[in-house]
Amino acid sequence: MRIGQYSLEGTLIVAPMAGVTDRPFRSLCRRFGAALAVSEMISSNPSLTATAKTQRRMDHRGEVGPVSVQIAGADPQMLADAAKLNVDHGTQIIDINMGCPAKKVCNVAAGSALLRDEALVARILDAVVRAVPVPVTLKIRTGWEPSRRNAVEVARIAEQAGIQALAVHGRTRADLFRGEAEYESIAAVKANVSIPVIANGDVDSPRKALAVLRQTGADALMIGRAAQGRPWIFREIAYHLLHGVAPAPLSLAEIHRVLRAHIAELHAFYGEFLGVRVARKHVSWYTADFHQSTRFRHAFNALESAAAQGEALDDYFRRLEAGSGLAADAREELAA
């Protein structure tokens, strides 16, 4: 699949997730075969540009390209200016957020709230596309609520504005993350535009990935929550799509190495104080299906140093490898 001048090496993309898709996580997913990893959203509000959080999100040192950054806001000129600023900092693809369902985003008429105003959508897309010399992509939901699914209309506006690829999450804003994603709307979008369409929502296994591609006809898949604590899902899906069977699941020793390296990168990226705290949620995701994980996570979350976290992980995995390791249902899931 191509996005502007960039030819992606694969069809699997990491979804932008606030508080998750930082540079260490994006780099890890790319190593496991993701063709593109979109950053956490960056506010277009210029008063936030100098904050430590925004500066970290604009840090792409050592990142494998193409570098894709998602921007969020509701004012066309602010979004255009934010796009230019990020391109000046090394961004190669600008992604516009019109899919986030969070209240704090929608309350300022940004994210998926924009889907209620198609005229404003058009003004935003025109402003951003005209502002930067790099490809601009867009992420949307199927609409604001089930009674007003307007993804096809928005997709046509996006194509006319010069958007180079469109990611569609198969839920409306009102659905949040409840229930199951629906893919009929994504298939309708694909049938009505010629730009690449990326299907998003509940892609959590190799078999589900193949089914969604077949149902929607999408050019690529975007994976979010299913990659939390399981960044190797990109390798699993890519292998299944190529060979028709699932690869052998990672061993406990391999998972240990991946997790150990991941938290070390978090400590280095954020500094020890914040890195220790960010590492806690990732460790919880990685170990959720392991033996006595609740007890381990409770103790792990009380640790205050990088060294203590590393020692605790090493000890826990030694005990796992000496015992049963994965729960039976988790073994079945990893083999699916």
Q: How far apart are the first and last CA of the chain?
A: 26
Residue 29 annotated as catalytic: no
Amino acid residing at 43: S
Q: Answer whether 272's CB lies under 8 Å from 259's CB.
A: no
Structure tokens at 335: 């083999």
Q: Answer whether 85's CB lies under 8 Å from 110's CB.
A: no
80, 83, 96, 100: the active-site residue: 100
Q: Answer whether 316's CB lies under 8 Å from 296's CB.
A: yes
DSSP of 23-57: HHHHHHHHHTT-SEEBPPPEE--GGGTTSHHHHHH
Q: Answer whether 211's CB lies under 8 Å from 205's CB.
A: no
Widest CA span in the chain = 61
Give the bridge partners for 2, in sequence order.
7
Q: CB atoms < 10 A from the CB of 329, how many? A: 9
Does an H or E element contain 220, and which?
A: strand 220-223
User: Token pair 């990142």 is at which residue?
Assistant: 63
Q: Answer whether 253's CB lies under 8 Å from 263's CB.
A: no
For the annotated catalytic residues, the residue numbers are: 100
